[in-house]
C-alpha cells in the first residue's frame, strides 16, 4: 500500500473501517475526478437557468380571499441588504445581523406534491399554484418575543434551519417554508441565512462565508438559550450549513461549559463536512451535547464534487456510515441512509426535504426527541 492510500485509509478508520464501496471510489477518483467535477459543476449551475423571476420573489403580494397555508417565520441573516426589494438581501457579507418577519403562502395540498417548491412563473404569482411572499418586514429585537409567543405553540418549541451552498436569500426562505410546512411540526420557524452568492462557481466564497457568519448563528442560539419563552430547540442544517451549525454549537459549548439541554436535536442533512473534523468538534462540545441525526447518501453527487475540492477527503454525508453506527452512537449520532430513496433532485442532495419518506422519518425523529425528557 502506498503512502497516499495508507493516509486515506487512516482518515476513514478514525470513525470506523472503510467499506468496499469507499475503496472502489478511492481507486478510481484520481483518474476521473477532473472531468467528473466539471460535469457536476454544470449540473449544479443548470437549476439557475431560467429563474429570472426569482428576483421578484420577496415582493409581498395580497392573497385576497384565497385559502392557503401560511408559514410565518423569523429570518436572521448576515447578508448585506440588496438594492432590489424583490431580492431583499444579497450574497455579500454584512457587519451585523438583520432580522425580518417573513410570511410565505403555500398552495393547497391538492395543488402540489409534498416536498415541492412551486416558484411563481411571474410576479405576483397565483397563490393557488405557487409559493408567494405575503409579508417581508424588518422586525426589532423587542418584537421577536411577541412573534415567538404567537408561533411557538404550547410546548414553546423553535425549529432553526441553516441552508447550504449555492443558495440565494429567496431560495433559503422558500426552501424553509416548504420544509416547515411539510414537516408539520408545531414550532416557531427560524431561518438563519448566511451570505451565499447562489452561484455554483463560488464554492470557496460560500465556504468562507460560513466561517464569517458563525458570530451570527452563535448569537441566535444564545438568545434562544437565554429566553424563558423557549423550552425546546431543534436545529436542521443542510450541506455546507452543517459546518456552520457544528462550529456554532462548539463555540456555544465552550462559552457555556456545555450545550444547553434546550437544544434537543441537531439534524445534519447531506452534511458537507470532513468526517474527522465532525468527530473532533462533537467531542469538544463535551458530554452535555444534543443528539445528532445524520442523513447520508452514497449517491450524493454534490458531495462527490465537494470531496474532490477538499483533496479527495470524504464528506460525512457522502459515505456509507451504516457499518460505523456503533461508534457513532457513542457520540450520540444516529444515521439514516437515504441512498436508495426516490427523489426529484438529479444530484441526490436534497432528498431530506423533497422525499415524503425522508420528511416522515425526519418528523418522527424530531418529535420523538422533543417529547423525551431533557438532558440534565
Q: Give me the DSSP letters along 17-58.
A: PPPHHHHHHHHHHHHHHHHHHHHHHHHHHGGGTT-GGGGGTT
Give the cell for residue 190: 427560524
Long-range contacts of 297-301 (CB under 8 A, 24+ apart): 297/270, 297/337, 297/338, 297/339, 297/341, 297/348, 297/351, 298/21, 298/337, 298/339, 299/339, 299/348, 300/270, 300/347, 300/348, 300/349, 301/40, 301/43, 301/346, 301/347, 301/348, 301/349
Q: Give residue 345's pLDDT.
A: 73
Q: Give residue 22's pLDDT.
A: 32
pLDDT per residue as tens digits for the range 224-255: 999 988 999 999 999 999 999 999 999 999 99
Are residues 259 and 374 in contact, defined by beta-carbon separation less than 8 angstroms? Answer: no
**Domains of the chain, CATH where assigned:** 3-371 (3.40.50.1820)
Round to whole Å and give the CA distance between 275 and 350: 20
Q: How many CB atoms lie within 10 A of CB 72?
A: 17
85 alpha carbon, distance to own chain's centre: 25
Residue numbers in the chain where pLDDT is lower than 70: 1-53, 343-344, 370-376
> Which CA distances in Å does 258 have to 224, 290, 291, 320?
15, 10, 13, 30
Q: Give residue 281's pLDDT.
A: 94
- Among 257, 258, 246, 254, smallest CA distance to 333 is for 246
Q: Give residue 366's pLDDT.
A: 84
pTM: 0.85
Number of residues in the chain: 376
Q: Quote the radius of gyration of the chain (alpha carbons, Å).
A: 20
Round to whole Å and give the CA distance between 88 and 86: 6
Round to whole Å and give the CA distance between 204 and 310: 11
Q: In the chain, which residue ranges form alpha helices assigned H by DSSP?
A: 3-13, 20-45, 141-151, 169-183, 203-212, 214-226, 241-256, 275-284, 301-309, 325-330, 351-354, 356-371
Q: Give residue 371's pLDDT.
A: 66
Share in percent of the chain as helix, strand, coil (round to 5):
45, 20, 35
3-state secondary structure (DSSP) of residue 214 = helix
Amino acid at each position: 500500500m502506498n503512502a497516499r492510500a495508507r493516509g486515506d485509509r487512516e482518515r476513514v478508520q478514525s470513525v470506523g473501517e472503510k467499506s468496499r464501496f469507499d475503496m472502489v471510489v478511492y481507486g478510481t477518483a484520481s483518474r476521473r475526478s477532473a472531468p467528473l467535477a466539471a460535469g457536476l459543476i454544470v449540473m449544479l449551475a443548470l437549476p439557475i437557468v431560467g429563474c429570472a423571476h426569482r428576483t421578484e420573489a420577496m415582493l409581498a403580494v395580497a392573497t385576497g380571499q384565497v385559502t392557503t397555508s401560511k408559514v410565518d417565520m423569523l429570518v436572521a441573516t448576515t447578508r448585506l441588504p440588496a438594492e432590489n426589494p424583490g431580492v431583499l438581501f444579497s450574497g455579500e457579507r454584512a457587519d451585523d445581523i438583520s432580522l425580518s418577519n417573513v410570511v410565505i403562502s403555500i398552495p393547497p395540498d391538492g395543488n402540489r406534491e409534498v416536498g415541492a417548491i412551486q416558484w411563481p412563473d411571474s410576479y405576483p404569482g397565483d397563490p393557488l399554484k405557487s409559493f408567494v411572499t405575503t409579508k417581508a418586514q424588518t422586525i426589532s429585537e423587542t418584537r421577536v418575543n411577541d412573534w415567538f409567543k404567537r408561533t411557538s405553540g404550547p410546548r414553546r418549541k423553535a425549529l432553526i434551519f441553516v441552508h447550504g451552498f449555492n443558495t440565494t436569500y429567496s431560495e433559503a426562505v422558500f426552501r424553509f417554508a416548504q420544509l416547515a410546512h411539510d414537516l408539520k411540526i408545531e414550532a416557531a420557524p427560524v431561518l438563519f441565512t448566511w451570505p451565499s452568492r447562489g452561484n455554483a462557481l463560488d464554492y470557496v466564497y460560500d465556504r468562507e462565508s460560513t466561517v464569517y457568519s458563525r458570530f451570527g448563528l452563535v448569537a441566535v442560539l444564545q438568545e434562544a438559550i437565554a429566553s424563558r419563552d423557549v423550552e425546546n430547540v431543534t436545529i436542521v442544517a443542510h450541506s455546507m450549513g452543517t459546518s456552520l451549525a457544528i462550529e456554532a454549537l462548539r463555540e456555544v459549548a465552550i462559552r457555556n461549559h456545555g450545550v444547553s439541554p434546550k437544544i434537543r436535536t441537531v439534524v445534519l442533512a447531506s452534511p458537507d463536512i470532513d468526517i474527522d473534523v465532525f468527530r473532533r468538534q462533537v467531542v469538544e462540545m463535551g458530554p452535555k451535547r444534543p443528539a445528532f441525526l445524520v442523513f447520508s447518501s452514497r449517491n450524493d453527487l454534490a458531495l462527490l464534487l465537494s470531496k474532490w475540492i477538499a483533496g479527495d477527503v470524504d464528506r460525512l454525508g457522502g459515505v456509507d456510515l451504516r457499518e460505523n453506527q456503533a461508534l457513532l452512537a457513542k457520540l450520540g449520532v444516529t444515521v439514516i441512509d437515504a441512498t436508495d430513496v426516490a427523489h426529484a433532485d438529479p444530484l441526490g442532495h436534497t432528498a431530506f426535504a423533497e422525499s415524503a419518506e425522508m420528511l416522515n422519518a425526519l418528523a418522527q425523529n424530531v418529535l420523538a426527541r422533543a417529547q423525551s425528557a431533557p438532558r440534565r
